[in-house]
Amino acid sequence: MPVTPLSLSRQVAAIDTSHTGESRLDRVLSRPSVFLFVILTAQLMVVLDSTVVNVALPHIQARLGFSGSSLSWVLNAYILTFGGMLLLGARAGDLLGRRRVFLAGIAVFTVSSMLGGLAVTSWMLLAARALQGIGGALAAPSALSLLTTTFREGARRVRAIALYTTMSAAGAATGLVAGGLLTEWASWRAVMFVNVPIGLVVFLVGRKVLVETERRYGRFDLAGALTSTLGMSGIVLGLVEAGTKGWGSADTLAPLFAGAVLLGLFGHVEHRASEPILPLRLLAHRTRSAANAARGLVYAGMYGMFFFMSQFLQDVDRYSPIRAGVSFLPLPISVFLSSQVTSRVLVRRLPPRSVIMSGIGLSFVGLTLSTLIHAGTPYVEILPALVLLGAGTGMSFVSLTSASLADVSSEDAGAASGLVNVSQQIGGALGLAVLVTVFGAVTHHVQVIAGLHGAVVRAADATFIHGLHDAFGVGALFALSAFTLVGALVGRRPRMAEPIPVVVPQLLEGFEDSAA
């Protein structure tokens, strides 16, 4: 019988019991279910946080004075630091010990959630969200690694990973509803505070039940992590500023220039680093690069759907927060169901490229339908767009995950898996920045303020809808670009890898992995 950290801890506990007597608490904590509770609850917390915030965005904007363009940073501050630090977080777990890094990540996430709930200015909330991203980047890779090292190959690991991915799906759906409940019954601050008690429980129980893994020797590519994260942040900031201040403004050009320089420096650092955070050879493979780029483009359109649709439902159609949250449920449900059908049926009967392109095509249709909504559109007419976008995303991501790992050597498996996550996060951040810029340019910065009456509201609503149509239209162009990339660069029957579980604490996390 193989010895795992979990079985070893049980043997040690049994030896201690013969001498000192095992308490009831010790017996409870030694159960595999308690270990799973720690890992799964941590995953729930990270996934829940992303979707909870989406529904609360209109209230955050009203209370902390965000502009329409700067509001996107409530999301981008998190996904940029998470995506930029994810590979470094995985490396930290290898070098420092996964238990130590996991607990440190949970602690950072919990404290930053508390600070976010206490924020009284916009910059305080953005700083807290950035810290949450760092905490998530530390905790998420180590959580999955602890799960796979504790449960060796076989039925137990399959069941454990199935529970892990199911929790991801449940967390995404729960977050949408919980965000509406907390915002409507308490305040937007509750969507940040909800992580605090969850994080404390995970941290305290995790200290008792998690066993440290063996540390490896190596170096941190801190320069690579910082230059990539700051470079992407500069690009996103420049795009957002362009929507409010124009392309000729110094506030637009300066961060764009700085971001481009930092990304160039990142390439130089990775080329010279002995242990790069992103081996540049991974980018030379045509199928992998096309799949990662397509993944980012599709996710960008979906992320824009959440950002703008949540504001439309609450600010224009006057939905309550809880009603708006429930309205999004068909999207994650359709993602889950379509990924299951794809993995069990479609990938066995159709070429991978056909599956990917069909899924992206459904996403394109869903985003195109979104350009037809207007003030007072009944929900039954919005529903098809949500379902098609979700079904297309779930269908395409199953095969995109495999294509992103095609022909990867064992030494690059971890970095390639991390690149899948990074492409999704960075694609979402850049895509949202572009959509916000388009929306700002079209609407001329008109903000919809709930509670006004008469012609002012009607004019504001009309302006908002006009900007919304253009933003969703650009989102559809993202999907069309992804469709073209896959058609041009992914072979008819490429060699596909067995998907490595990836850690994505956003809405779609776990759906494609559980299906694959």
DSSP string of 127-174, one letter each residue: HHHHHHHHHHHHHHHHHHHHHHHHS-TTHHHHHHHHHHHHHHHHHHHH
Would you place residue 474 in the very low, low, confident or very high pLDDT band (cuts 50, 70, 90)? very high
**What's the pLDDT at 509?**
39
Per this entry, what is the length of the chain?
A: 516
At position 277, the amino acid (one-letter code) is I
32: tokens are 């595999």
Calculate mean pLDDT across residues 45-51.
Answer: 75
Would you place residue 7 in the very low, low, confident or very high pLDDT band (cuts 50, 70, 90)? very low
**What's the pLDDT at 135?**
94
Calculate mean pLDDT across residues 267-284.
Answer: 85
C-beta separation of 352 from 402 below 8 A: yes
**What's the pLDDT at 415?**
72
For the chain, the farthest-separated pair of C-alpha atoms sits apart, in whole angstroms, at: 81
Calculate mean pLDDT across residues 47-59.
Answer: 81
Q: Which of these ranges, 144-153, 272-281, 453-462, has the smallest mean pLDDT?
A: 453-462
C-beta separation of 106 from 42 below 8 A: yes
Identify which has the larger pLDDT, 317 or 220.
317
Instruction: Report the distance separating Cα 302 and Cα 33, nearest Å.
Output: 35
- Does residue 14 register a pLDDT over 60? no
**What's the pLDDT at 384?**
96
- Does residue 326 register a pLDDT over 60? yes
Instruction: Report the distance separating Cα 324 and Cα 299, nearest Å.
Output: 21
In our burial notation (b when 16+ CB lie closer than 10 A, e otherwise), range 252-287 reads bbebbebbeebbebbbebbeebeebbbbeebeebeb
218 exposure class (CB count in 10 Å sphere: 0-12, 13-18, 19+):
exposed
Residue 284: CA atoms inside 13 Å, Cβ hemisphere, count?
A: 4
- Does residue 205 register a pLDDT over 70? yes
- Does residue 494 register a pLDDT over 70? no
DSSP 205-272: HHHHH--PPPP------HHHHHHHHHHHHHHHHHHHHHHHH-TTSHHHHHHHHHHHHHHHHHHHHHHH
126 exposure class (CB count in 10 Å sphere: 0-12, 13-18, 19+):
buried
Contacts of 354 (CB under 8 A, 6+ apart): none
Q: At what angle do helices 98-117 and 122-150 cross, to 10 degrees?
A: 150
**What's the pLDDT at 454?**
44
Instruction: Report the distance separating Cα 164 and Cα 147, nearest Å.
Output: 9
Calculate mean pLDDT across residues 235-257.
Answer: 83
| pTM assigned to the model | 0.77
What count of other Cβ atoms lies within 10 Å of the Cβ of residue 132? 29
**What's the pLDDT at 507?**
38
C-beta separation of 5 from 150 below 8 A: yes
Instruction: Report the distance separating Cα 193 and Cα 94, nearest Å.
Output: 31
C-beta separation of 151 from 160 below 8 A: yes
C-alpha Rg value of the chain to the nearest Å: 23
81: tokens are 């630091």
**What's the pLDDT at 106?**
96
378: left (phi over 0), alpha (psi -120 to 50) or beta: beta
Would you place residue 333 in the very low, low, confident or very high pLDDT band (cuts 50, 70, 90)? confident
Instruction: Report the distance separating Cα 385 and Cα 365, nearest Å.
Output: 8
Identify which has the larger pLDDT, 106 or 85.
106
Residue 67: CA atoms inside 13 Å, Cβ hemisphere, count?
A: 15
What percentage of the chain carries pLDDT values higher than 90? Answer: 26
Instruction: Report the distance separating Cα 360 and Cα 59, nearest Å.
Output: 33
CA angle in degrees (0–180, nearest 5) for 371-376-380: 70
Nearest to 219 by CA among 82, 97, 87, 92: 92
Would you place residue 241 in the very low, low, confident or very high pLDDT band (cuts 50, 70, 90)? confident
Highest mean pLDDT among 176-180, 266-270, 302-306, 364-368: 364-368
**What's the pLDDT at 426?**
83
Calculate mean pLDDT across residues 355-379.
Answer: 94
Calculate mean pLDDT across residues 320-335.
Answer: 87
Would you place residue 121 in the very low, low, confident or very high pLDDT band (cuts 50, 70, 90)? very high
Q: What's the sign of the alpha-carbon dihedral 418, 419, 425, 429?
A: positive
374: tokens are 């207007």
**What's the pLDDT at 514?**
33
At position 439, the amino acid (one-letter code) is F
Query: Where do we find the tokens 């050009």?
Result: 253
Q: Which helix (H) or strand (E) holds 445?
A: none
Q: Which of these ranges, 9-18, 301-310, 341-350, 372-381, has the smallest mean pLDDT?
A: 9-18
The phi and psi torsions of 447 (rounded to 5 degrees) equal: -105, 140
Identify which has the larger pLDDT, 147 or 27.
147
CA angle in degrees (0–180, nearest 5) for 144-148-151: 135
Highest mean pLDDT among 77-81, 330-334, 353-357: 353-357
Identify which has the larger pLDDT, 151 or 489.
489
Number of H helices, E strands in the chain: 20, 0
Query: Where do we find the tokens 């949970």?
Result: 106
- Does residue 44 register a pLDDT over 90? no
**What's the pLDDT at 10?**
47
**What's the pLDDT at 154?**
59
C-beta separation of 465 from 375 below 8 A: yes
120 exposure class (CB count in 10 Å sphere: 0-12, 13-18, 19+):
exposed
C-beta separation of 323 from 475 below 8 A: no
**What's the pLDDT at 170?**
58
Identify which has the larger pLDDT, 463 or 27.
463
**What's the pLDDT at 222?**
85
